[in-house]
Structure 1
Amino acid sequence: MALEDLLEMAEAGDPLAMYDVGALYESGADGFEKDEKLAFHWYKRAHEAGNVKGTALIGCYYLLGWGVTECYTKGIAYISLAAGKGSDLASFELGLALAAGAFGMSVDKAEAMYWLEKALGACPHVSLSDKGKGEAQQKLKELRAQSPQQQAWKLGMDKGELKQCEPEEDEQSEVQEEREDDDAVYTVTEDKGTSKRRHEPVIVETIDEKEEE
């Protein structure tokens, strides 16, 4: 597709075209000058038009302060919204954040494993690189090795017990049984008088409404 046609489609409100224009401004490819602000602008327009990959990327931009003022609260909200809608990139980033307690989130290894596994699964919105998939696999391996279930299995093997059993692949039964909150997001809030932060699921429709106020 000619760049002129792509830009025309983006200006007309085509979600995929708007996402592609954002990617061109992000990478500086095809004669586009790299511009994080314009990349964010087009990703946000793509998100507003329903493009889930655009949602994931504006979340990343908020977390990193690329082209927009850094804001962990908005970043985590958009990342988790996109993850719940099936973005492998957002699932990957959310899993890493939960594993490390990054961006103001509490460490939650079970949730981290859930989202990393989802990133490596059959997500409908694919934008995670091969490098990212490799990192997700490595982090999952580390988290599984740290799980109480795996530790107990190793201890039993060391004592000559559990000779015929194998460890479960994961410890996600409680998390995976019912995932009705996949359309919810994690928010980062700060308790007054302390530096403690927590994440909790909330309904997501309020994110854009707050920005419009």
Structure 2
Amino acid sequence: MADNAPKRPGDAVDLNEEASPREKKMRASINDVVADLRCPITLQLPFDPVTAQDGKIYERGAILEWFRNKDGEATSPSTGKVIGTELLPAVQVRNTIESLIKSGAIEGEVAEAWQKKLKQETRVKELRAKADGGDGDAMYRLGVGYEFGRNGLAKDGAQARAWYERGTAARNARSMARMGERQVLGVDGPKNIALGIMNVTDAAHLGSDYGAFLLGKWMFYGRHGLPKDPARARFWLKKVVDGPFSLGRGPGDAARMLRELDSAGD
């Protein structure tokens, strides 16, 4: 009985017996191209390709991290020889990869990974456009992207703080909580405890779950110049526990502090 099952996307690049000699030759050529285009560090098709001084194509972020982590002179990941750190954008390589993927010449996991990055790039562009139009939530999401390395963005604390600062100026509650925490702790920029507490407080009053959590915690322990205040700590911590929030460990930590307040009889 003939096998009428549909072929998987990756089957198109296999040199199977059903392919004609011409098709096999074409597929072999495409596989050679894919092998040549893969970044030697990530082993993936580069989304932001650059040409290094060794003449090889790399993912920009990967080669920059390679250089940062090297002690002494920079070396080539491919040859091990000392090279300069100047990188040239490989625009034609990017265009070639995109064209081959869109045409279906390159398929399977390597293409899916590249297309995922393309969607992330599109998402970031949309967020930037909204942020430039004054959308505070978009500013917050860009800050989160840089803080945690999401949507294809590389982790960058300074960029995260800059976007949270813009969101704070736009009176976005979630941005205000993140920015206030950074000001209180002096993370990725100047410390300003008074202004930071003011921003966190405003964020909590505007409905930020993280702002409520920070205020409750700081008043529970008496930190950053705030007195230990069981009543106010309980007020803010209950908002975290009782609210429809998603804070990672936040609700659990808030619940623990509330139990301690209960056991102390406060």
TM-score (norm 1): 0.63
TM-aligned CA distance change 1:130 to 1:34, over 3 Å: closer
SS at match of 1:130: coil
Stretches of structure 2 that go unaligned for 5 or more consecutive residues are: 1-121
Q: CA deviation at 1:138?
A: 0.6
CA distance in structure 1 between the aligned counterparts of 2:205 and 2:133, rounded to whole angstroms? 28
Amino acid at match of 2:148: S
Q: What is the root-mean-square deviation in Å for CA atoms of aligned residues?
A: 1.6
Q: Could you report, residue by residue, the CA deviation over 1:149-189 in whole angstroms, capped at 9, with x for unpaired residues?
A: xxxxxxxxxxxxxxxxxxxxxxxxxxxxxxxxxxxxxxxxx
Which residue is 2:232 aligned to? Answer: 111
Which residue is 1:39 aligned to? Answer: 160
Q: CA deviation at 1:33?
A: 2.2
Match status 1:147 vs 2:251? no
CA distance in structure 1 between the aligned counterparts of 2:156 and 2:204, rounded to whole angstroms? 26
SS at match of 1:33: coil
Q: CA deviation at 1:34?
A: 1.6
- State the 4+ residue runs in structure 1 displaced beyond 4 angstroms: none
**Relative contact order higher in (CA < 8 Å, ≥ 6 apart):** 1
Stretches of structure 1 that go unaligned for 5 or more consecutive residues are: 149-213
CA distance in structure 1 between the aligned counterparts of 2:242 and 2:206, rounded to whole angstroms? 13
Match status 1:30 vs 2:154? no
Contact 1:88 1:120 in 2 (8 A): no
Contact 1:64 1:70 in 2 (8 A): yes
Match status 1:67 vs 2:185? no
CA distance in structure 1 between the aligned counterparts of 2:169 and 2:132, rounded to whole angstroms? 13
Contact 1:87 1:119 in 2 (8 A): no
Q: Could you report, residue by residue, the CA deviation over 1:86-116 in whole angstroms, capped at 9, with x for unpaired residues?
A: 1111111101100111111111111111110
Q: How do 1:84-163 and structure 2 match up within 5 A? A: 84-122=205-243, 126=245, 128-147=246-265
Which residue is 1:156 aligned to? Answer: none
Greater C-alpha Rg: 2
Q: CA deviation at 1:76?
A: 1.1
Amino acid at match of 1:79: V
Q: CA deviation at 1:3?
A: 2.0
Which residue is 2:127 aligned to? Answer: 6
Which residue is 1:165 aligned to? Answer: none
CA distance in structure 1 between the aligned counterparts of 2:229 and 2:161, rounded to whole angstroms? 29
CA distance in structure 2 between the aligned counterparts of 1:64 and 1:44, rounded to whole angstroms? 15
CA distance in structure 1 between the aligned counterparts of 2:180 and 2:158, rounded to whole angstroms? 14
CA distance in structure 1 between the aligned counterparts of 2:153 and 2:173, rounded to whole angstroms? 23
Q: CA deviation at 1:68?
A: 1.7
Contact 1:62 1:70 in 2 (8 A): yes
CA distance in structure 2 between the aligned counterparts of 1:100 and 1:67, rounded to whole angstroms? 24
TM-score (norm 2): 0.51
Q: CA deviation at 1:29?
A: 2.1
Question: Of the candidates 26, 47, 52, which is equivalent to residue 173 of structure 2?
Answer: 52
Amino acid at match of 2:145: L
CA distance in structure 1 between the aligned counterparts of 2:187 and 2:210, rounded to whole angstroms? 17
CA distance in structure 2 between the aligned counterparts of 1:143 and 1:54, rounded to whole angstroms? 29
CA distance in structure 2 between the aligned counterparts of 1:92 and 1:134, rounded to whole angstroms? 11
